[in-house]
Structure 1
């Protein structure tokens, strides 16, 4: 077996520490026995299970295999001095995220989070404390309140209209084949740019309603940041090695973050200047709201860096889930066309064929939402949630969980848990309708039997926005167009990438308009 240079360097640094540790262990008084940790692989002194992690990539699949081999729903893997606790049980997840949420509400102090959040100035990446409380209050009360959601309604609808116009133009002006991953990613990017800056494009865009070169670069950078946050770099567990950047992780993250800032910062700085000069006096988007906030002394509530950081985090945290969910659901349903027909019939019964879906129609679309819930259960965008960090020792599920542990809820582990789900590997939307008794079905899951928006203090505050964007993307594509697999691919390939849980091949399908031509033409 060939060992990575990083592994050899770790051994070089840690052999002396190992000798010291053995000496101290043999000549120090025995400590009182503590409650047992969750089951897991035996760690090396000092470095823990980092050597095994380095030779078993991708890390999330290595952790999956450990839990499968141990037949456990909670495990403990020591990386450096940090106990990493993966969980696949809803009841144990509920203990962490709800019952004992107050002590599990912090975040890791790692280099990646610090760099992207400009020194922990944001919400999702920031450890528990006054800064986190301040920024979360602003997000919940000022940006995501029901009043603000309604205030931005027309912007979201404009982007839903542009989605249909863009797909229609691609079909009419090309071969009919549409890359639905590309469409979903850029629809999400468009929505967030409209909410943040009231812009669809940073440049000129394309005439058919699609992205231009600037938007392509920007969205690619966002996904690079998402894939490198909490990606198990060595420096997260041995911080004194951060400067070596063994796998190029820090370099990639810096370049991607700086690309996003290249587009954000000039807009933010110019807007702040306009408000100071008095040439801008009314709020038009989320950026205006953040600039206009005042403290008790009528001074700006947020610094320029806080505004930039919050805009950055909002952009990178909102566009990955909708596209991934819709791509997987459409892929599953193209292989089970009777399910696609059932969604289409529900949409036609609510909308007819003379108009497009509106946000006010969403409560009536329970089967549509059941399909999306099933997509979240079976195909989450990332296996692990962002780590929750324990702020004091505690006991969970009769196991000792030490202070500083990183708690990772495994979305796939819960969604694929055979103890919870009958035929867990099969796409069966109807399973989500058996308990709602005809009420409005939510994409959120309070019992954590599937992991969509999370729970507790660190739960996603954008449930309404996330639900709206996801349902509008899926339902507008299904109601507005007929989709069939390409002629050279009668069945859609449902395999995952080895490196993550996204679909290995982008979904490319043959589309045809299914509504009267005037419905599309009025969008122009």
Structure 2
């Protein structure tokens, strides 16, 4: 009898266990347990996952994957989960509906080795220190009133640039657009932050700074194996981290020199504090957060690099598109001649009367967003999007480049057609993060802090360059429109053009 009892008991126990799990599953389902089905995506390789599939142009590869797998794409990247949003609705779900859940950045080599171990504003965790850095930046440099306060600085620096370009024209020399823009923008930002021009003359020093900025943006945009398989990060298989460390030393030396010289000249600014004076004076805040010298260096690094490179890349692409489409250049010249004339320079107050110029800027941001893949975010808790389960600690990339070229959103998306923003629903689309069809600066809490400044710089500088000169390519030179991937989307071949003054000579004098 004993064996029969044992068998009976085992059957009862097995039945109880099965019933327990069935009941538990049913109850959790009724309570709203999220669907465990992950979004679709490529299978990838063992151990390293989808990393080798991305290639040298990840934004293009991911856009093509989205056509196959859908607007929310899942990739296993080494030991990490990653999702990619590739349509306006998918971007809205992550950056608006689930914004707070995706308000932090994942750890990565760029934050560690370039941004002083995430002590900056771009990579810092969402919290008190980030809020303080953002608040100080908005109040004293990037916000609306602050931008109005340093409008004269922008006008003065553009004057320097126009005169240098006029001299190049007289000598028959081509203007290398990204070098010229970096020189002018770095000096604009230097005037606001440090009360002085960073580069007195354009030349080796300013070109070296431009090269450093491009290297930073390029290396920070790489998909680094060590970020996705942390256990082998020490091996630095791609050599990315070693390059970051060397570049960081150069930037740190430059920033240290700037701060030391600024401190030594404090007596010259009595009663007229600049941005760095204000930040130094607000190192403690009411919430008890204290900014260290490292935080301040990291913030300056953000402002000087992102403040120059992202805006300059959009302006360079816009000029290249106009050289590629002479009828667009002719039309914007006609608009400017009618509104401004040729006896004076364009002023910032003119921009609102120049809808075609504004449409050119929007069209460039659509087709050539400065950041093709937004800076990555990471989920702090599991969530659900489009019926798919997104685990905790999943990295998020929004493919801004793919959204701008989506044929379901834009008619003939590969064409450069500013007119699409002049009428109908598109005329109301704004690039400041609320219209998810056009989010060149991102959206949500972690939208680029310099969004307002970026739009002002692009519209004003591009408008001034177009109004002040006729543009053409050097004889025998073909226009190259290839992209070079990085944190910012560069032209693979920098734009060089011949310019000819088109205003009265007095317009270039001030």
Q: TM-score range by the shorter chain?
A: 0.7 to 0.9
List per-residue Cα deviations over 1:347-397 (Å, max 9, x = no partner). 122211111111222222221010011111111234201001111100111
Correspondence for 1:334 among 294, 310, 323: 323
Aligned-partner SS, 1:229? helix
Kept in 1, the 8 Å contact 2:471–2:500? The answer is: yes
Structure-to-structure mapping, 1:357-506, within 5 angstroms:
357-435=346-424, 442-489=430-477, 492-497=479-484, 501-506=489-494
Kept in 1, the 8 Å contact 2:121–2:133? The answer is: yes
- Post-superposition shift, 1:113? 0.5
Kept in 1, the 8 Å contact 2:420–2:427? The answer is: no
List per-residue Cα deviations over 1:424-466 (Å, max 9, x = no partner). 1000001011147988x85435221022222110012323211
Taking the aligned partners of 1:518 and 1:131, their CA distance within structure 2 comes to 48
Taking the aligned partners of 1:71 and 1:298, their CA distance within structure 2 comes to 46
Aligned-partner SS, 1:512? strand
Which residue is equivalent to 1:80?
78
Which residue is equivalent to 1:36?
37
Aligned-partner SS, 2:369? coil
Mark the CA change 1:399 to 1:437 in structure 2 (over 3 Å): closer, same or farther. Answer: closer
Kept in 2, the 8 Å contact 1:120–1:126? The answer is: yes
Which residue is equivalent to 1:64?
63
Which residue is equivalent to 1:118?
116
Kept in 2, the 8 Å contact 1:292–1:300? The answer is: no
Aligned-partner SS, 2:73? coil
Give the stretch that moved more between structures: 88-97 or 283-292. Answer: 283-292
Taking the aligned partners of 1:463 and 1:501, their CA distance within structure 2 comes to 16
Mark the CA change 1:140 to 1:297 in structure 2 (over 3 Å): closer, same or farther. Answer: closer
Which residue is equivalent to 1:208?
none
Correspondence for 2:309 among 320, 334, 337: 320
Which residue is equivalent to 1:20?
none
Which residue is equivalent to 1:271?
262
Taking the aligned partners of 1:506 and 1:144, their CA distance within structure 2 comes to 28
Which residue is equivalent to 2:240?
249
- Post-superposition shift, 1:76? 0.6
Structure 1 vs Structure 2 CA RMSD: 2.7
Taking the aligned partners of 1:143 and 1:102, their CA distance within structure 2 comes to 26
Which residue is equivalent to 2:7?
none
Matched, 1:182 2:182: no
Correspondence for 1:350 among 333, 339, 343: 339
TM score, norm. by length of structure 1: 0.85
List per-residue Cα deviations over 1:285-316 (Å, max 9, x = no partner). 21122112264689995322221111111112
Mark the CA change 1:516 to 1:98 in structure 2 (over 3 Å): closer, same or farther. Answer: same
Taking the aligned partners of 1:436 and 1:189, their CA distance within structure 2 comes to 37
Taking the aligned partners of 2:364 and 2:455, their CA distance within structure 1 comes to 13
Which residue is equivalent to 1:201?
198
Taking the aligned partners of 2:135 and 2:287, their CA distance within structure 1 comes to 18
Kept in 2, the 8 Å contact 1:347–1:365? The answer is: yes
Correspondence for 2:249 among 258, 262, 281: 258
Taking the aligned partners of 1:296 and 1:495, their CA distance within structure 2 comes to 47
List per-residue Cα deviations over 1:21-40 (Å, max 9, x = no partner). xxxxxxxx999795211111
Taking the aligned partners of 2:441 and 2:485, their CA distance within structure 1 comes to 25
More contact order relative to length (CA 8 Å, sep ≥ 6): 2
Which residue is equivalent to 1:519?
507
Taking the aligned partners of 1:424 and 1:188, their CA distance within structure 2 comes to 30
Mark the CA change 1:331 to 1:279 in structure 2 (over 3 Å): closer, same or farther. Answer: closer
Which residue is equivalent to 2:16?
none
Aligned-partner SS, 1:510? strand
Kept in 1, the 8 Å contact 2:192–2:274? The answer is: yes
Which residue is equivalent to 2:6?
none
Taking the aligned partners of 2:140 and 2:94, their CA distance within structure 1 comes to 28
Mark the CA change 1:354 to 1:131 in structure 2 (over 3 Å): closer, same or farther. Answer: same
Mark the CA change 1:442 to 1:163 in structure 2 (over 3 Å): closer, same or farther. Answer: farther
Aligned-partner SS, 1:76? strand
Structure 1: tracts of 5 or more residues without a match: 1-28, 206-210
Kept in 1, the 8 Å contact 2:356–2:419? The answer is: yes
- Post-superposition shift, 1:408? 0.8
Taking the aligned partners of 2:259 and 2:225, their CA distance within structure 1 comes to 34
Give the count of matched residue pairs.
Answer: 480
Aligned-partner SS, 1:160? helix
Which residue is equivalent to 2:156?
158
Aligned-partner SS, 1:318? helix
Taking the aligned partners of 1:296 and 1:58, their CA distance within structure 2 comes to 43
Mark the CA change 1:96 to 1:233 in structure 2 (over 3 Å): closer, same or farther. Answer: same
Aligned-partner SS, 2:411? coil
Structure 2: tracts of 5 or more residues without a match: 1-20, 26-33
Taking the aligned partners of 2:117 and 2:491, their CA distance within structure 1 comes to 33
